[in-house]
């Protein structure tokens, strides 16, 4: 029996592949390499280059590899792109996910783990935000993911499939053993940008908005280390294998950090005082987005390693960025 990881050549899916292999699981990666990297997939994992929305291909790999669980990471994730190309996002993230879920049901795959996002909350009035509040995504990306949540919620009522939906907050850092990290060129994520500025790979950085109703005027986010996030997936898999029911959990630490706090940490850890400019707000940024994180701890028994260790997360990101830079020459 094996675990199918869609998007297993990408940043977060790639860390899932490592964790599964470390646990002695059989792993099959399905990735079209549109944003992932073949080198990111270790040789111990089976690899199929292809589209998770290709029904025939999915049916064949589910059968041939006797897939017991699907961890579905593959997605388009850039919010402004989703605004410019909503139908592309609904096709890729929503319509193709329907095909994948349908093939899972048809093949009798019992377990499904879905990468959702805090973007399903939109601009929540409360912080921390708990799973049961009214969902109101404000961009096509968030809606494309929420529709998959709804499809899964309905599907698990009608079929034997069980699903755990994990809503990611701000994922950061890299494999503590240095095997993998965020490798996407032109990534827009704050810690990656700040680390690139510290290493001189870009000319300083901008802070998007300093007039938010937050303690220091910059946006507050809940940064979760990527292996901690993956550990929640491993706990989700154990939960499903143990006969646990479908559920939806936030994945964050329940701790908010401002953009200025992140920038200060990157300067501190790197020892580089890179230039930081104040810029206009970025459209669609909520002032604060922090996870209510009780459910993942209580229902899945998740205990994160890096919740109080921003310097470790920044160090991992710095180390990975250096490696990536050397690799690319
Ligand atoms: N941000 C920033 N400068 C950058 C990149 C991001 O000030 O170069 C801010 C962004 O406006 C947001 C926070 O950092 O308030 C986190 O942004 P990111 O894109 O990492 O994640 P998001 O919360 O948008 O998913």
pLDDT in tens, 222-234: 999 999 999 999 9
pLDDT of residue 304: 98
- CATH code for residues 190-221+254-328: 3.90.25.10
Kindly give the distance from the C-alpha atom of residue 123 to the centroid of ligand 1, in angstroms, as a whole number.
Answer: 14
Secondary structure class of 48 (helix, strand, coil): strand
CA atoms within 13 A on the CB side of 205: 27
CB of 170 closer than 6 angstroms to any ligand 1 atom? yes
pLDDT of residue 255: 97
Structure-block tokens of residue 57: 């291909």
Please report the atom of ligand 1 found closest to the CA of residue 289. 23
pLDDT of residue 283: 80
Please report the atom of ligand 1 found closest to the CA of residue 119. 25
Nearest CA to ligand 1 atom 10: 208
**CA trace torsion 9, 13, 14, 17 (10° rounding):** -110
Q: Does 190-221+254-328 match 2-172+223-251 at the fold level?
A: no
pLDDT of residue 285: 85
Pocket mutation for ligand 1, best pick of 115, 219, 260 (most atoms within 8 Å of C-beta)? 219
Kindly give the distance from the C-alpha atom of residue 264 to the centroid of ligand 1, in angstroms, as a whole number.
Answer: 15
Pocket mutation for ligand 1, best pick of 213, 282, 287, 314 (most atoms within 8 Å of C-beta)? 282
Nearest CA to ligand 1 atom 12: 219
Nearest CA to ligand 1 atom 6: 190
Just list the catalytic residues.
Answer: 141
Residue located via tokens 């040789």: 43
Residue 212: alpha-carbon gap to chain centroid: 25
DSSP bridge pairs for 291: 129
CB of 219 closer than 6 angstroms to any ligand 1 atom? yes
User: Any idea what DSSP says for residue 291?
Assistant: B
**Domain ranges for the chain:** 2-172+223-251, 190-221+254-328
Report the 10 Å Cβ neighbour count for 38.
Answer: 11
Kindly give the distance from the C-alpha atom of residue 165 to the centroid of ligand 1, in angstroms, as a whole number.
Answer: 24
What's domain 2-172+223-251's architecture?
Answer: 3-Layer(aba) Sandwich (3.40)
pLDDT in tens, 112-123: 999 999 999 999
Distance between CA atoms of 148 and 154, rounded to whole angstroms?
10
Q: Which of 142, 148, 166 is nearest to 237 (CA)?
A: 166
Give percent above pLDDT 70 in the chain.
Answer: 99
pLDDT of residue 329: 56
What HEC string does 68-99 produce? EEEEECCCCCCHHHHHHCHHHHHHHHHHHHHH
Please report the atom of ligand 1 found closest to the CA of residue 219. 15
Rounded to two decimals, the pTM is 0.97
Determine contact, residues 230/270, Cβ cutoff 8 Å. Answer: no
Longest dimension (CA), the chain: 56
CB of 190 closer than 6 angstroms to any ligand 1 atom? yes
> Parallel, antiparallel, or unpaired for β 162-168 and 111-117?
parallel
If pLDDT is split at 50, 70 and 90, which confidence band does 187 have?
A: confident
CB of 282 closer than 6 angstroms to any ligand 1 atom? yes
Residue 210: alpha-carbon gap to chain centroid: 26
Residue located via tokens 């783990």: 113
Nearest CA to ligand 1 atom 20: 189
Determine contact, residues 278/313, Cβ cutoff 8 Å. Answer: no
Distance between CA atoms of 88 and 83, rounded to whole angstroms?
10
**CA trace torsion 20, 5, 301, 24 (10° rounding):** -20
Kindly give the distance from the C-alpha atom of residue 57 to the centroid of ligand 1, in angstroms, as a whole number.
Answer: 37
Q: What residues contact 264, with CB distance under 8 A and at least 6 apart? A: none
Q: What's the mean pLDDT when you consider all of the chain?
A: 96
Nearest CA to ligand 1 atom 5: 190
Kindly give the distance from the C-alpha atom of residue 74 to the centroid of ligand 1, in angstroms, as a whole number.
Answer: 22
Secondary structure class of 167 (helix, strand, coil): strand
pLDDT of residue 53: 98
pLDDT in tens, 246-277: 999 999 999 999 999 999 999 999 999 999 99
Residue located via tokens 């897939």: 67
pLDDT in tens, 129-140: 999 999 999 999
Q: What residues contact 182, with CB distance under 8 A and at least 6 apart? A: 11, 172, 174, 189, 192, 226, 317, 320
Please report the atom of ligand 1 found closest to the CA of residue 281. 11
Q: What residues contact 221, with CB distance under 8 A and at least 6 apart? A: 169, 170, 190, 256, 257, 259, 288, 289, 290
Give percent above pLDDT 90 in the chain.
Answer: 93
Distance between CA atoms of 225 and 195, rounded to whole angstroms?
15
Residues making up the chain, counted from first to last = 329
């Amino acid at each position: 029996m094996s675990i199918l990881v869609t998007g297993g050549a990408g940043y977060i899916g790639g860390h899932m592949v490592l964790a599964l292999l470390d646990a002695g699981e059989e792993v099959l990666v399905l990735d079209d390499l549109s944003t992932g990297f073949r080198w990111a997939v270790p040789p111990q994992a089976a690899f199929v280059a292809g589209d998770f929305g290709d029904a025939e291909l999915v049916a064949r790999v589910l059968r041939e590899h006797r897939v017991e669980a699907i961890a579905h990471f593959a997605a388009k994730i850039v919010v402004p792109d989703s605004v410019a190309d909503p139908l592309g996002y609904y096709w890729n993230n929503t319509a193709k996910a329907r095909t994948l879920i349908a093939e899972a049901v048809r093949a009798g795959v019992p377990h499904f783990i879905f990468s959702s996002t805090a973007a399903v909350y939109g601009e929540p009035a409360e912080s921390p935000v708990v799973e049961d509040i009214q969902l109101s995504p404000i961009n096509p990306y968030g809606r494309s993911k929420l529709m998959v949540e709804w499809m899964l919620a309905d599907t698990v009522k009608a079929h034997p499939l069980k699903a755990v939906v994990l809503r990611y907050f701000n994922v950061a850092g890299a494999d503590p053993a240095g095997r993998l990290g965020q490798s996407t060129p032109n990534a827009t994520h704050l810690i990656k940008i700040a680390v690139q500025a510290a290493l001189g790979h870009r000319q300083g950085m901008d802070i998007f908005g300093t007039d938010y109703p937050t303690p220091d005027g910059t946006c507050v986010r809940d940064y979760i280390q990527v292996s901690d996030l993956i550990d929640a997936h491993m706990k989700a898999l154990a939960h499903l294998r143990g006969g646990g029911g479908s559920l939806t959990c936030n994945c964050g630490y329940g701790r908010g950090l401002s953009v200025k706090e992140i920038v200060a940490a990157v300067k501190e850890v790197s020892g580089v005082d890179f230039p930081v400019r104040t810029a206009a707000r970025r459209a669609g940024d909520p002032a604060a987005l922090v996870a209510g994180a009780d459910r993942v701890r209580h229902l899945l028994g998740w205990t994160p390693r890096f919740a109080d260790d921003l310097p470790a997360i920044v160090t991992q990101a710095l180390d990975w960025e250096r490696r990536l830079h050397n690799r690319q020459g």
